[in-house]
Amino acid sequence: MDLSQLLSGLAGLSGINNQAEEVVEETVEVDQIDGQPLVERTMLIEDHPDFNYMEGAEDRVYEKIKRYNANPAAVTGIMANMLGENDTFDYKRKQDGGGPGRGLFQFDSMRKNYNKYLKSKQLPDSENAQLYWAMDQIYGDPVKSELGYKRAKKLRKILEKGNEEEATTAFFEIFENPSPNNPKERQAKLNKRLEYIKIFKEKKKSGGGSLIERNPYNN
């Protein structure tokens, strides 16, 4: 084999490697809502067969939530509620006990319109799709929000200006809205989420670490 043949062969191998790398590159479509990017589709990495979506899921979700919220208190409030709903941060998780809740936020009554969104956009269910759709109900057009115009506007205002306790409570009462017919159970769930705030304050200071490992309620 002469030098030209050797170089040609190496170039071919390089091309194969580049193609393999391209399979797992992220492709991002960004909508601008008041200057804040909402990442609608970063599917290639999650769809790749070698991608372990549960590896570091809680930290990955935390970083993605930060993309949507300029106010750190909002990030804390949303994450505290997500931890209360789904302590594994598994977007495929089904509600314990066979209930209707699904995903990161344990969508219940919201599942119908979330599924319509997936169908209209021709998207598979994913971590990114759930996060985008949920945040779009808050930061998107309030007229089209699942929450209703007034409630969407109220939640957005609190998440933009409120402290950790206010953000946690507002997201719980307006977006999550669990156990509406059981005040005692509802208050117990809110109290637990308010206690979770300290986990995310510590995470913000430390810059990392597993939220689940630091969760004192995790068995």
**HEC per residue, 83-150:** HHHCCCCCCCCECHHHCCCECCCCECCCHHHHHHHHHHHCCCCCHHHHHHHHHHHHHCCHHHCCCCHH
- CATH fold label, 27-206: Lysozyme (1.10.530)
- C-alpha to C-alpha distance for 69 and 36, rounded to whole angstroms: 8
Other C-beta atoms closer than 10 Å to the C-beta of 65 total 21
- 216 CB-contact burial (10 Å; exposed 0-12 / middle 13-18 / buried 19+): exposed
Domain range list for the chain:
27-206
- pLDDT tens per residue, range 161-175: 999 999 999 999 999
Q: Any idea which of 3-17, 114-128, 133-147 has the lowest mean pLDDT?
A: 3-17
pLDDT of residue 54: 62
Residues of the chain with pLDDT > 70, as a percent, come to 68
Answer yes or no: pTM beyond 0.85: no
Q: What is the largest CA-CA distance in the chain?
A: 81
User: Residue 142: what pLDDT?
Assistant: 93
What's the mean pLDDT in 85-110?
Answer: 89
Spatial separation of the C-alpha atoms in residues 214 and 24, rounded to whole Å: 31
